[in-house]
Structure formats: C-alpha cells, structure tokens
Amino acid sequence: MNKEDIVKENKRFQEIINNQQFVCNDAFTIYYINSNVKKFGITVSKKIGKAYVRNKIKRQIRNIIHNNKKLFPNNKEYIIMIRRGYALKKYDEKENKLLLLIKKIK
C-alpha cells in the first residue's frame, strides 16, 4: 500500500465509523464510506495482544489488501477493525474471510 492509500487522521477514522455502514464476521468488521478515492485504515485493539503481535497482524492485512486491491470497490474509504476471532485462523482463512466481506460491500 502506498502512503496515498492510507487513512491516517483520527478525525477521518471517526467520520467513517460514525457513518454506520459496515459488514462484519468473526474476524473482521469493515466500516466504509463513499468517497472520491480508495483508502484503507487498519485498527487492532490492545486486547488482541502486545505491540509486536498487533504489528504482525497489520502487516498481514496490508499484504492481503495489496494482493487483492482490484477486488475492492473504487471510490470508498475503508476502516478494517480486527476482532478476537482473527488470531484463531490460518492466513488463508483470514484472507478468505476478508475477501468475503468485500464481496458483500459490492
């Protein structure tokens, strides 16, 4: 992911979350909003684990997004929140769960 593809500001995170358009499953919750660009934000709670665990999870999610960027609908901004069920799955399952949610958004 490029720097232009990342939602960084806390204010923008809150706008997207407060919009109340979301899809979820046991591993992810994805909030989204219509926009003129495609951007992503990733959040991992401290309840999931220590910093090195949370950073590993964020790297995995960024890799999934990078490999499947064409599947995400254009003109939307996404906030991907990781849930506790994420840690119990293998990488392939995680990727499939995320892509299923993206198909629901379309």
Residue 20 has a pLDDT of: 86
Share of the chain residues as helix, strand and coil, in percent rounded to the nearest 5: 50, 25, 30
What pTM, to 2 d.p., does this model score?
0.90
pLDDT digits (tens, 9 = 90+) for 40-51: 999 999 999 899
DSSP state of 6: B
Residue 104 — very low, low, confident or very high, per pLDDT cuts 50/70/90? Answer: very high
The rounded radius of gyration (Å) of the Cα atoms in the chain is 13
- Residues linked to residue 43 through DSSP beta bridges, in sequence order: 81
According to CATH, the topology of domain 3-105 is Ribosomal Protein S5; domain 2 (3.30.230)
